[in-house]
Structure 1
């Protein structure tokens, strides 16, 4: 898989993609649409889509919002992503 460029940073280990996949899997397991999930997390839906695809670096505060919307801890998401 080619390495994506994210806002001037290299993600050689695909960390953002792995985290995005963990977020998407948790959202789907919770039975939430991306739109509902983004509303719960108070993050723009299009931005959430980019996070789930590993195209955006997730801020710490957004990671907390995402985890809360999923009823998880941020560390749970990081563990699922093997980070």
Structure 2
């Protein structure tokens, strides 16, 4: 990842984590509901890795928001 990608990954991780907490879902439950491992979710929320397209779609479904809204806020 380059600096711009790292920055976006970090902002996206913060936004997803804020939305997850607002929905009252634990990290472990959110990971399971989004079909990823808890460790993968932790690393992504911390900005250590980028979410995959499939992960973004799954998380948006769990949060009941349009997937593009996650990027628009991070953007």
Asked if these proteins are the same fold (TM beyond 0.5), I'd say yes
Q: Distance in 2 between matches of 1:11 and 1:40?
A: 30
Within 5 Å, which residues of 2 pair with 1:1-83? 9-12=1-4, 14-81=7-74, 83=75
Higher helix share: 2
Higher strand share: 1
User: What 5-or-longer segments of structure 2 have no aligned partner?
Assistant: none
Q: Distance in 2 between matches of 1:59 and 1:53?
A: 15
Task: Give the drift of 1:69.
Answer: 1.2
User: What 5-or-longer segments of structure 1 have no aligned partner?
Assistant: 1-8
1:50-75 superposed Cα distances (whole Å, 9 cap, x missing partner): 11111111111111011111111111
Which structure 1 residue ranges, 4+ long, deviate > 4 Å from structure 2? none
TM-score (norm 1): 0.82
Bigger radius of gyration among the two: 1
After superposition, the CA RMSD in angstroms is: 1.2
> How many residues of Structure 1 are paired with residues of Structure 2 in the alignment?
74
